Amino acid sequence: MLTLTPSKKRTLFFVAMGWALLLIGDRIGELRQYQGSFVAMYALAIGSIILLTGYSGQLSLGHSALMAVGAYAGALSINNLHLHPVIALVIATFVAGLFGLLLGFGVARLSGPYLAGTTLALAVSLPTLANQFPILGGEQGVVFDVGLPPARFGENFSQYKWFFWISCLAVLVMLWLISNVVSSRYGRTFRAIRDNETAAALSGLNTGRLKVLAFSISSGMAGLAGGLLVMLISGVSPSAFPLSLSFSLLTGAVVTGVYSLKGVMLGGLVLVAIPEIADSLVTRIGGSEGFTATLPGFLVSALLILAVIFAPNGPGKLLHSFKKHG
């Protein structure tokens, strides 16, 4: 019998996921490919929240701003430095990570409401800075064009499929890296700090430095997700990163269960599916303009509250407790 180490199992899982997504991408229509790209992007962004909150015990309401940092960095490297889109996405990751590192030094000693307040102010103020610098294009923003798919894929290879490939590949590679990080020594130390910061410090961990590290990694993930988001909507502007995006990500993280990265795809699926469900509900039952515009927000909020009340530790733990109690 072939035995595999956990890390090889993980790698195999991600390769299998990639293979499955490759097959799925060939068999679905353009709309589903486009939505699938959004699911992948949201999954990564939710993963960044889970890494920060579930693994290292910090709370951020400012991840929409960190996504904006990555998005602008990627857009500038394509438009002004004329780099390859894939390299631009890598740059988006690293610039956001670096930004998170600097921010982390400022906020790592803050906890609870102080951290929430600072990141909230960041989420509100950072996108408005785009108006201060002409290079960022003000309210209109700048284009983010990854170009047509390479000619060698053939003429039937659509733009949406190209988006789908880029998103899925980027997200799988990033999540594979992160899953290795959280199962390494660093993941253990993050969890130790989350569970009891004083005990972790007494055991010789440099808790401040580790919290900054977690914040930085999480920012890098958010930056890549931001780059993918503006690739899908072909341009980056302040209005693409409202505060409500941060809140949606938090919703996704809670619905997925903040303890574990395993369900991030589910969270992404939920965030993409809810507006669709709301749309179909509205076309079926009709209603006023106010009702139509408000229904998606209502469904997200209701789901959030239900998740907090009935499955505060995520659907996985809920099933587990059902099994235990019969």
Partner 1 sequence: MIKLITTILTALTTGAIYALMSTALVLVWRSTRIINFAQAGQAVLSTYVGYEITVRSGSFWVGVLAAMIFGALLGAVIDRFFMRPIFKRIKSGPILMIAPVVATLGLLGIIQSIIGFKWGLTYQSLAAPVSTDGYNLFNRVIAFSPFNLLVVVFATVSMLLLTLLFQKTNIGLALRASAHSPEIARLSGIKVDLTRTLGWALAGAAGGLAGMLYIPSSYLYPNAMDVLLVFGFVAAVIGGLESLFGAVAGAMILGFAISFSTSYISEKLFFPMAFILLIVVLLIKPAGIFSSKKSRRD
Of the candidate residues 305, 319, 320, 321, the single one contacting partner 1 (CB under 8 A) = 305
What would the x/- binding string for partner 1 be over residues 36 to 75, using CB under 8 A?
A: -----------------xx--x-x-x--------------
**Which amino acid makes up residue 42?**
Y
Find the binding residues for partner 1 in span 87-116 (CB under 8 A). 106-107, 109-114, 116
- Which of these ranges, 164-172, 201-209, 266-274, 299-307, lies near partner 1 under the rule CB under 8 A? 299-307
Distance CA 84, CA 78 (A): 7
Of the candidate residues 6, 29, 117, 147, the single one contacting partner 1 (CB under 8 A) = 117
**Which amino acid makes up residue 217?**
I
CB of 237 to partner 1, least distance (A): 15
Please, which residue, 32 or 317, has the CB nearer to partner 1?
317
- Secondary element (H or E) of residue 235: strand 235-236
Distance CA 234, CA 290 (A): 29
CB of 272 to partner 1, least distance (A): 18
Residue 294 interacts with partner 1 (CB under 8 A): yes or no: yes
Distance CA 154, CA 194 (A): 50
CB of 136 to partner 1, least distance (A): 12
- Which of these ranges, 11-19, 23-31, 74-82, 127-135, lies near partner 1 under the rule CB under 8 A? 127-135
Residue 312 interacts with partner 1 (CB under 8 A): yes or no: yes
Please, are residues 222 and 96 in contact by the beta-carbon 8 Å criterion?
yes
Residue 288 interacts with partner 1 (CB under 8 A): yes or no: yes
Which residue, chain included where needed, has tokens 């309401």? 61
Please, are residues 189 and 108 in contact by the beta-carbon 8 Å criterion?
no
CB of 59 to partner 1, least distance (A): 6
Distance CA 295, CA 277 (A): 10
Residue 286 interacts with partner 1 (CB under 8 A): yes or no: no
Residue 175 has, within 13 A of its CA and on its CB side, a CA count of 29
Distance CA 72, CA 276 (A): 28
DSSP tag of 133: -
Distance CA 320, CA 173 (A): 29
What would the x/- binding string for partner 1 be over residues 214 to 253, using CB under 8 A?
A: -----------------------------x---x--xx--
Which residue, chain included where needed, has tokens 């972790």? 200
68: left (phi over 0), alpha (psi -120 to 50) or beta: alpha
Residues making contact with partner 1 (CB under 8 A): 53-54, 57, 59, 61, 106-107, 109-114, 116-118, 120-122, 124-126, 128-129, 131-132, 194, 243, 247, 250-251, 254, 258-259, 288-291, 293-295, 297-298, 300-302, 304-305, 307-309, 312-313
